[in-house]
Structure formats: C-alpha cells, structure tokens
Amino acid sequence: MLRFLCCCFFTEDSENERQPLLESKSSDANEAGSARQTLPSHKAQSVSRTGRLLMRRVCVPDLDKRFSDMAETFNEQQECYEAMVGHIDNLRHTYGCAHRDTLSFSECLGKIRNEHNASYRISLKMRGYDFYLSVVPVGLEDESEAKMLPPCLRTAQSELRGTCERAKATISKGTTLQELIGWLLRSRDQMSNRVNEATPSYQERGRLNENLEENMKEVRRAKDLSMKYRQQAGEVFVEAAQIAGNYL
C-alpha cells in the first residue's frame, strides 16, 4: 500500500486573448492579464499560499483547452489539499494540539486516547487506503454497540474521515495533473510554432507568445506545487499506517 502512496481565433480586440481561461471564484477578480489570483492565507504553517491558477489565451483553441484543463485540475487538487490541511487543523483545534510546521496528527491521537481511555478504547484503523478513528466503549465488543459519542469524539472521527478522503483526492488529482503538465512541457516549441502560424499579425504574434511564455511559467509552478501537495498527502497516509500499526 505504501508503494502506491510514495509512488480561438484572432479578433480585432487585442485584449480578448488576455482573458483568463478560468474565471476566479472570488468577486474581487484580478485584471484580465493576471496569471493568478491570490487566496487568503491558511492557518496551517506548513502550507504556502500562491493562489489559483489562471491561464492566458494563446488563441489556438485546442492549446487553450489543454491549458484550461491543466489549470482546472491543478485548482481542484489545491482545493483538496487545502481541505485536507483544514481537517487536520480542526482536529488539532478540537483537542488543543500544537500547530507545527508539519501535517502530523499523531500527537492529537495520543491526546484523544489519554482523554477518553477511561470510557473508550480508541485506535486508528486502516482498511485498504482508508483510515478512520475506531471508538469502542469499554466493556463492549465493537463500535456497532456504541451509543451516542461525546461531541468532541464525533468531531475527531469526522475530521479524520475528511482528512483521509481529501488526501486520497489530492494524490489522485496529482497523477492526472502530471500527465497534463508533462505534455505541455514537452510541446513548448511546437506550441510556439502553432501560435505563430495561426496569427497573421506580427504584433499579435508577439503578444500571444508572451502569453504562452507566462502560461509555461505557471505550468512549471503548478508542477512543483502539485508534487509537494501529493508528497504531503502521501505522508499523511504513511503516518496513519504507522499509527494504526502501533495499535495492533
């Protein structure tokens, strides 16, 4: 299991090609030429905020679609990663755990066990690529016999389920994204030739090639961030497997 984890045509309006391929979700959109929109900073110290990816038009329809697909996939992965971090933050907040420069949650699991060990047998379980918090009342055989749990324990279970689901989605999106990014990086010169061939005006060719170059900078940025997101999501699973193994 751990091996899997650690594993547009020319128009007279010269501003049209500078419109972002993906519109911002915020009401305060950046100007049309902007290649990115900044998101609010997150509480987690381990997360660097660099904003959603917005691509410029190169006015070759199939190339614009490739850039759009890549940006959309990256933004989805970033959302999954941020949600994963948010779940871990919420778990830490619920049990007063320290916010460190990592996404480790083992300290919180220890606090949860210590706080409730008189009434519940608490452990982290793994089934395939899923992990969850098992809570069994002392004197009972399994979770199905448990009655209503304390709110803090229900919150812990919910946050860990959310962490697991968002970590899986971060890894999955990262796999798809690397394929999209790989094609764009390999095809840089070919794309420039196609932009030149499709644009009759010398001035417009210069402008669209500038857009292409800005897009490629964003592609490389997305590659680096995506690999980081995927790696950290994988580390969450590694830690969960280690904790679950210690409880066996």
Predicted local confidence at residue 121, as pLDDT: 92
Q: Does 82 map to a domain?
A: yes
Q: At what angle do helices 151-186 and 188-198 cross, to 10 degrees?
A: 70
- 45-80 pLDDT tens trace: 344 445 789 999 999 999 999 999 999 999 999 999
Q: Does 92 map to a domain?
A: yes
Q: Does 19 map to a domain?
A: no
Q: What is the mean pLDDT of residues 90-110?
A: 86
> Is residue 27 over pLDDT 70?
no
Distance between CA atoms of residues 109 and 127, nearest Å: 18
Q: Does 134 map to a domain?
A: yes
Which residue segment(s) compose the domain that 179 sits in?
A: 60-246
Q: Does 171 map to a domain?
A: yes
Q: Does 37 map to a domain?
A: no
Collapsed DSSP state (helix, strand, coil) of residue 172? helix
Count of structural domains within the chain? 1
> Is residue 153 over pLDDT 70?
yes
- 173-192 pLDDT tens trace: 999 999 999 999 999 999 99
What value does the mean pLDDT of the chain take?
81
Prediction pTM value: 0.78
Q: Which residues touch 232 (CB under 8 Å, ≥6 apart)?
A: 46, 81, 103
**Residue 243 region by backbone torsions, left for phi larger than 0, else alpha for psi between -120 and 50, else beta:** alpha
Q: Does 50 map to a domain?
A: no
Here the tokens at position 18 are 């500078």
The residue that leads in pLDDT, 231 or 8, is 231
Q: Rounded to 10 degrees, what is the CA torsion of 63, 68, 73, 79?
A: 160
Q: Does 206 map to a domain?
A: yes
Chain CA centroid to CA 59, Å: 29
- 225-242 pLDDT tens trace: 999 999 999 999 999 999
